[in-house]
């Protein structure tokens, strides 16, 4: 039953399984990023923008916004730290679901956001900053998962690097090798396809997240949480059976 998705979060990795997982996570990141903007007015995967606004607000003397930017940045950082801790702990315990542990936590936090986000309308002044912290933590958590699994070949929560790498490969592809005797400039077509696929998945996730939030509100994150849990379920069940001696 779970064979088609078993390889997504298994410990035995291939470039193909990394790309499959990366594509799903890019879709989730795009959806969370777009939904987060509609919910609280922040793109919570965009640390470049947050650091830039932090610098601007520091110069302008806006202490409250500087503090908010620092907290968002630290939340993203702590998410990455948490992923590293969970994966290494899972490896020490010989868990087949070691790579899935951070995704389980991400799914749980998305459920919290989806099920309790409606209360933002009642306690906006208190819960909006907490929501920004939560979403930044989730994005740091997720980006560190695929970065660690793929050995930094794939990242999913920001598109700047992906577009840069895509442009580099397109430049190589369109370069005309006219002079004989010189090394030929060749594009890595596989890298080109990988980066293009991740960008499209992030964009598709953004569209889905915006539409979902528009029509379903905060509850639109629940299907994203279910998708992550589905990917983690096969190795988690294997660990459960092993621990119970089944």
Instruction: Please tell me the predicted confidence (pLDDT) of residue 84.
Output: 93
pLDDT band at residue 78 using 50, 70 and 90 as cut-offs: very high
Residue pair 43/49 in contact by the 8 Å Cβ criterion: yes
Give the pLDDT confidence score for residue 118 in this predicted structure: 62
In a domain, 243, yes or no: no
Mean pLDDT of the chain: 86
* Domains identified in the chain, total number: 1
8 A C-beta contact, residue 228 and residue 8: no
pLDDT at 77 over 90: yes
Contacts of 85 (CB under 8 A, 6+ apart): none
Q: CA–CA separation, 31 vs 33, rounded Å?
A: 5
Is pLDDT at 184 greater than 60 in this prediction?
A: yes
What does the DSSP 8-state code read for residue 3?
Answer: H
Please indicate, yes or no, if residue 241 is contained in any of the structural domains.
no
Domain annotation covers residue 4:
no
CA distance 214 to 105: 25
Domain span including residue 217: 9-235
Q: Residue 138 domain-assigned?
A: yes
Mean pLDDT lowest among 4-13, 31-40, 45-54, 162-171: 4-13
Q: What is the pLDDT of residue 38?
A: 80
Measured distance CA(181)–CA(222) in Å, rounded: 58
1, part of any domain: no
- In this prediction, residue 167 has a pLDDT band, given cuts at 50, 70 and 90, of very high
Other Cβ atoms closer than 10 A to 182: 8
């Amino acid at each position: 039953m779970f064979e088609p998705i078993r390889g997504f979060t298994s410990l035995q990795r291939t470039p193909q399984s990394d790309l499959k997982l990366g594509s799903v996570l890019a879709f989730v990141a795009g959806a969370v990023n777009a939904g987060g903007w509609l919910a609280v007015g922040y793109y919570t995967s965009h640390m470049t923008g947050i650091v830039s606004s932090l610098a601007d607000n520091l110069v302008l003397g806006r202490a409250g916004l500087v503090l908010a930017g620092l907290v968002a940045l630290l939340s993203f950082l702590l998410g990455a730290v948490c992923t590293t801790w969970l994966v290494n702990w899972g490896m020490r315990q010989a868990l087949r679901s070691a790579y899935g542990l951070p995704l389980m936590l991400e799914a749980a936090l998305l459920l919290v956001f989806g099920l309790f986000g409606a209360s933002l309308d009642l306690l906006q002044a208190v819960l909006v900053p907490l929501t920004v912290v939560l979403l930044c933590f989730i994005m740091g958590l997720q980006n560190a998962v695929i970065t660690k699994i793929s050995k930094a070949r794939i990242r999913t929560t920001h598109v700047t690097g992906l577009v840069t790498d895509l442009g580099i490969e397109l430049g190589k592809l369109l370069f005309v090798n006219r002079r004989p005797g010189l090394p030929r400039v060749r594009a890595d077509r596989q890298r080109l396809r990988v980066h293009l696929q991740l960008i499209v998945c992030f964009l598709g996730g953004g569209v889905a997240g915006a539409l979902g939030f528009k029509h379903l509100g905060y509850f639109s994150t629940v299907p994203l949480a279910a998708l992550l849990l589905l990917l983690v379920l096969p190795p988690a069940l294997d660990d459960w059976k092993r621990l119970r001696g089944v």
